[in-house]
């Protein structure tokens, strides 16, 4: 079973999972690292993580790296399983440290915080990618060594 998990899956569904997860997560990573899309950039984000959120600096740094470079790796289809596992870990960490009683998004402005729905969906997609790999049109598929019997 483990060996079949490591094989590349050429299914089109994985391409769409990769691209849409990257599309949704990249702006968050760009906010944190570059200050794009109204974000605070690296310095501001690290100050928030280590100050207000009370995270160790290494965790803050890893979150920024994973949220920025993980989606880029997903788009390219390189290190998909590793990137997806790291994204799932970040999303799980966000749920465990932030959400204690809010499942639903705050559609009407009645909650003091958003819900965990988004993060659960991201975890589900990321875990699926851990099992399926990059799928169609991934560089990982192109870089896979050709077995000697196929030559």
In tens, the pLDDT along 25-79 reads 999 999 999 999 999 999 999 999 999 999 999 999 999 999 999 999 999 999 9
88 closest CA partner among 132, 134, 125? 125
Residue 87, pLDDT above cutoff 50: yes
Average predicted confidence (pLDDT) for the chain: 87
Is pLDDT of 103 > 50?
yes
Closest Cα partner for 26 from 86, 73, 96, 94? 73
* CA–CA separation, 43 and 38 (whole Å): 14
pTM: 0.83
Inter-residue contact 128 to 17 (CB < 8 Å): yes
Q: Is 138 helix (H, G, I), strand (E, B) or coil?
A: coil
88 pLDDT above the threshold of 70: yes
For residue 82, how many other CB atoms are within 10 A of its CB?
Answer: 12
Q: What's the chain's length in residues?
A: 151
Cα–Cα distance measured from residue 120 to residue 62, given in angstroms and rounded to the nearest whole number: 20
């Amino acid at each position: 079973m483990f060996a079949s998990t490591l094989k590349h899956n050429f299914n089109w569904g994985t391409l769409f999972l990769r691209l849409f997860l990257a599309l949704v997560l990249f702006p968050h990573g760009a906010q944190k690292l570059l200050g794009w899309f109204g974000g605070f950039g690296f310095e501001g984000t690290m100050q928030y993580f280590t100050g207000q959120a009370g995270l160790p600096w290494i965790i803050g740094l890893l979150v920024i790296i994973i949220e920025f470079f993980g989606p880029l790796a997903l788009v390219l289809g390189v290190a998909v399983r590793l990137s997806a596992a790291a994204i799932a870990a970040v999303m799980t960490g966000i749920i465990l440290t932030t959400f204690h009683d809010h499942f639903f998004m705050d559609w009407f402005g009645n909650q003091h915080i958003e819900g965990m729905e988004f993060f659960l969906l991201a975890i589900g997609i990321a875990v699926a990618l851990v099992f399926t790999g990059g799928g169609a049109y991934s560089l990982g598929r192109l870089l896979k060594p050709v077995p000697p019997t196929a030559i």
